[in-house]
Structure 1
Amino acid sequence: MPTKKSMHLAAFMNAGPQGTVGWRHPDAGDGFLSAEHYMHIAKVLEDACFDLAFVPDALAVPRSLGGSFDPAIRYGSGSPRLDPMTVLSIMSAVTTDLGVAGTISTGYNEPYNVARQLGTLDHLSGGRAGWNIVTSFQDAEAQNFNQDKLPDRAARYARAEEHLEVTTRLWDSWSDDALVRDKESGVFGRPEEVEAIDHVGTYFQVQGPLGVPRTPQGYPVLIQAGASPAGRDFASRWADVVFCSHESLESGIAFYQDMKKRAADHGRDPDQLLILPAATTVVGTDVRDAMAKHEAFFDLVDHMAGLSRLAYHVNVDLTKYDLDGPLPSLEVVGVEGHYREVVEFAEREKLSIREIGRWYGARTEGNMIGSASDIADTMEQWMDSGAADGFMIQATHVPAAFEDFAAEVVPELQRRGLFRTSYEGATLRENLGLRRPERGEWRNRAASALAERRAGQDGK
C-alpha cells in the first residue's frame, strides 16, 4: 500500500483580535496585548508539531468602509495589530522547533531592513524564520507612507520583484564560510568571502553587503498569497509556500495545478512549492454539535463587521451600493483571491451584500465543521484530490480553537499516518521538506524576472 503524502500545518493568527468577531466568543482569551498570550499559543502549536505560526499584518487602520476607520475600531475587524517581528521573536524564544513567519510589505519597507530583520530572526531562532511577502493592498497604507493612493498592481509587483532580487542578494552577500572567529590568530572573518551587491535599479539603490552573516536556512522560508495573474506568477517564481483561500474543492484543485505548472515553467521543481489552503475548523463531538457551535458564533456577527473586513480585503467601499442588492462586479485593487471566493459563494447562494457581510464575518473556509474524524476526512480528501500539500489553520477564536484542533484533530491525523508525531528537521525548511538554497542560486530567478519585465515593456 503506497505511503500517504505527509501533511504540513501552519497556524494563521493575528497579532491582535482574531478575525472579525473572534474576540466576542465566550471562550476567547483577552490577552492579545500581552506576551503570555503569544507564548501560550506557540507552546500549544509546538506540542502539536505544527510546522509554523503565521502572523499577517497591515500598515494602517482600515478605512475602506465608508472612508472611515470607525467600523474597524468599533467591531475590531482589522485593528489593532501589533508588530509581527516582535511577536514572533517572543514566540521563538519559548519554542525550539516551531517555525515563525510574519508579513512584511515590499511596498513600504526597504530591502536592507527586511534582510536584516529576517536574517537576525533566522539566526536567533536557529533557522525557523519565514517571510510572508505582500505588496500591500489598501490606500490607507499608502497614506501612511507619503502617497495619496496605492500604486497599481503592475507597479506594486514590479517593485516586489526588484525587492526580492535585492533582499536575496543581501542574504547571499556572506558565504557560509565567511566567519572564522579564530581567537589565536586574531582573524574574525574572511573578507574575500563577503561581497557588496552594488545594486542600482528602478526602485532601489543598495550597496551592501548585509551586516548579518548568511543565515541557517540560507534564506528564511518565503511565503506568498497572490491570486491575481501577476500574483500567481510572482509566487510561483519566488515562494516556497503559497497560502490561498478557496470556496470549493474544484477551485482548489484548479489553483494547485496552475501553481505547480507555473513553478515548472520557471524551471523549478514543483514539489518545492507547497500549497496551503486556508481551513477554518470548528471541532465538535459530531456534526450536529459542531454546527451548533458555528451557529452560535455566526449569531455574534454584525453584518457591518463582516463588510468592514471584506471592504478591507478588497479595498472597495461597499457602502456605495444597495446593501440589500447583489454584489456588483468590482475592480479589485486589494486581495483578488478573497473577492473571487466571495463571488463564487454569493452567486451560488443568491446573497445580498448585507447577507454577504454576515457570512464573511463568520465564514469557515474549506467546510471543515464536524468531529475530528469529519475534519480529517475533508483534509484527506483535499490532499488525495491534489488540492493541497497541507493547510493554514484559521481559528475562529484564540487560543481555544487552536487548543481544540491540537487536542482532537491532530491525533486523528497522526493515527491515519497523515501527520508527523515529532519534528524531523532542525530548521523550518527541513521540516517543510524544502532544500536550503545555495549561495547565489536565486540570482537566475531575478535575472529571469527582469528579462520578462523588459520583454513585456518592449511588447507594449
Structure 2
Amino acid sequence: MTAPQMTLVAFLQAQNCSNLVASWRHPDTELGYGTPAYYQNIARTLERGKFQMAFFDDRLAMPDRYGDDHRDTVEHGVRAVKLDPISVVTAMGLATERLGLGATYSTTYYEPFHVARVFATLDLLTQGRVAWNVVTSLNNSEAANFGAQEHLAHDLRYERADEFLEVVLGHWDTWQEGAVLHDKANGRFADASKVRRLDHSGKWFKSRGPFTVPRSAQGHPVLIQAGQSGRGSEFAARWGELVFVIYPNIDVARRSYADFKRKVAAHGRDPAQVKVAPAVYVVAAESRAEAEDKKAAIDALVKPVDGLALLSEVLNFDFATKRPDEPFTDEELGSITGLRAILDRVIAQSGLARPTLADFLRFSGRGTTDELATFVGSKTDVADQMEQWFRTGACDGFVLAATSMPGSYEDFVRLVVPELQRRGVFHHDYEGPTLRDNLGLARPAAGDWKHLYR
C-alpha cells in the first residue's frame, strides 16, 4: 500500500504583491505581475516541483475600507492591483501540462450559470486541471462595485452560497457520461437523451439550462473552500474537496483538523476525500542562520498601514475610527460582517471579549508573517516541521504563501521538495493527467453530488 502523500498548493495572488503585502518591496521580487511571462515562469517552477496546484485568492475591490479612502492602499501598494484570476490561470495552463489551476469566484456577486460555464470551459480546455475556490466575499467595497449599498449579512451569504452550489453542480451534470458521440457517419453529434435541462427555481436563483459545456476529463472542477467560522465551517464540510485553513500552531491544527473531519463525516461524506491544507510561509535557505536573516529582512519591510488596511478590508470595519488602546464595544463587534474566523481568532488568542485595535493587529498578524504558521530554516529544518504536521494528524498538506516572488517558490522547489521526496512524504511525479488524479480525489459521476453533498 502506498504511503499517504502530502498535498502542496501554491498560494498566489493576481496582484502587485504576494499574500504578504511587503513582498513587493523586497529587492529580489520581480514586478512583472502585469505580464503572462511572470505567471508562466512561476507555473513552470511549481510544475518542476510537482506541486499539485497553483491557487489564486481574490477580492472584488482594493482594500479601501481603512479611512474610507483608497489613497493609502495605492501609495503603499497594499494589494492595490487585482487582475481577474481566470485570465491568469488560463495563461499558466498554456505553459504547463499537469499543474492544477485554482481560481476564486464569488457566490455573492456572480451568477451560477456564468460561474459554471467559466470553470467548466477552462476545465475542458486544460483536460481536467481546474478548481473553483468558492467564496462569499467580504465587504461593502465589493458590494459598491456591483451596485449594492452594503454587503449581505454573514449567514445570508452562506444560505445564498448553498443554493448557488446546487445550481452550479446541477448544470455541470447536464451532460451525462457518453453524451458526446461525434458520429460523423450517422450525423449524430450527441445523444440528446443524455443531455437535460436543470429547470432550477429556488429562493435565490432561477436557472433553466441546458448547460452548454460537456463534462471534462475529471468530471467537473474541484471545489476549494476556506470557511472556518461556525457557518462557514459547516459550508466547507458540506461542499469542499480541498479546504484551505489557517492554523496558528500544530496543537491547534491537530484539534481543528480532527473536529473538521468529524463534520465532514456528519454530512455523509468520506473524510479521506476532503483534503485539509493550512496556509504557511516557508523561508528556506542553505542554512538556518541564512534563512533567519532572510526572514528578518522581509519582516523589516512591513509597514503599519499593511495590517490596518487589510484588517479593515477583511472585517468590513474601518479601523481608522479606533485608537490603538481603545476596546471595541459589543455593538462594534456585532457589526463586523467580514471574515468571522479572524474575529474569533483574535478573541480566543487575546482572551478578551472586547479586544483593542492593538490586539487585533497583534493576534491576527494581518500584514505580517505572523499571520500564518511559518517554517524557517535549512531544507532539513523545514522538512522536519512539515513532516511533523503531516504525520501527526494536523493536515493533509500545505498551501504555501511567498515572502518574495518568485524566489520563495524557487528556493522551496530547489531545497525542500527533494528532501520531502527523499523522506517518502511527497510524490516524485504526478499520478495522472487531472487535478483529481493528483489530489487523490475520486472522479464524480453525473448526479453524485445529490447523494454526497447533504
TM-score normalised by L of structure 2:
0.93
- 1:336 paired with 2:343, answer no
Are the aligned partners of 1:49 and 1:423 in contact in 2 as well (CA < 8 Å)?
A: yes
Q: 1:202 to 1:67 in 2, by over 3 A?
A: same
- 1:304 paired with 2:311, answer no
Partner SS state of residue 66, structure 1: helix
Structure-2 residue corresponding to 1:254: 255
Amino acid at match of 1:352: A
- 1:385 paired with 2:384, answer no
Structure-2 residue corresponding to 1:416: 423
Are the aligned partners of 1:326 and 1:352 in contact in 2 as well (CA < 8 Å)?
A: no
Q: CA deviation at 1:62?
A: 2.0
Q: 1:216 to 1:4 in 2, by over 3 A?
A: closer
For residues 357 and 114 of structure 2, the distance between their equivalents in structure 1, rounded to whole angstroms, comes to 45
Q: Deviations over 1:385-426 (max 9, x none)?
A: 211000000001111111111111111111111101111111
Q: 1:381 to 1:327 in 2, by over 3 A?
A: farther
For residues 406 and 91 of structure 1, the distance between their equivalents in structure 2, rounded to whole angstroms, comes to 18
Partner SS state of residue 203, structure 1: coil
TM-score normalised by L of structure 1:
0.92
Are the aligned partners of 2:120 and 2:172 in contact in 1 as well (CA < 8 Å)?
A: yes
Q: CA deviation at 1:352?
A: 2.9
Q: CA deviation at 1:279?
A: 1.0
1:397 to 394, 401, 404: 404
Partner SS state of residue 247, structure 1: coil
Q: CA deviation at 1:93?
A: 0.7
Structure-2 residue corresponding to 1:127: 128
For residues 204 and 366 of structure 2, the distance between their equivalents in structure 1, rounded to whole angstroms, comes to 37
Structure-2 residue corresponding to 1:272: 273
- 1:25 paired with 2:31, answer no
Amino acid at match of 1:366: A
Partner SS state of residue 215, structure 1: coil
Are the aligned partners of 2:345 and 2:363 in contact in 1 as well (CA < 8 Å)?
A: no
Amino acid at match of 1:95: T
Alignment of 1:83-162 (within 5 A): 83-162=84-163
Q: 1:357 to 1:239 in 2, by over 3 A?
A: closer
Q: CA deviation at 1:341?
A: 4.1
Q: CA deviation at 1:339?
A: 3.5
- 1:406 paired with 2:410, answer no
For residues 358 and 262 of structure 2, the distance between their equivalents in structure 1, rounded to whole angstroms, comes to 36
Structure-1 residue corresponding to 2:432: 425
Identity across matched positions, percent: 39
Q: CA deviation at 1:185?
A: 1.0
Q: CA deviation at 1:340?
A: 3.8
Compute the RMSD of aligned alpha carbons.
2.1
For residues 409 and 351 of structure 2, the distance between their equivalents in structure 1, rounded to whole angstroms, comes to 32
For residues 415 and 326 of structure 1, the distance between their equivalents in structure 2, rounded to whole angstroms, comes to 50
Q: 1:275 to 1:354 in 2, by over 3 A?
A: closer
Structure-1 residue corresponding to 2:8: 9
Are the aligned partners of 2:283 and 2:295 in contact in 1 as well (CA < 8 Å)?
A: yes
Q: Deviations over 1:219-241 (max 9, x none)?
A: 20100000111111111111101
Q: CA deviation at 1:312?
A: 1.5
Q: 1:262 to 1:116 in 2, by over 3 A?
A: same
For residues 304 and 339 of structure 1, the distance between their equivalents in structure 2, rounded to whole angstroms, comes to 19
Q: Deviations over 1:284-323 (max 9, x none)?
A: 2333222221111111111112221222222222222222
Q: CA deviation at 1:3?
A: 6.5
Q: CA deviation at 1:58?
A: 0.9
Structure-1 residue corresponding to 2:444: 437
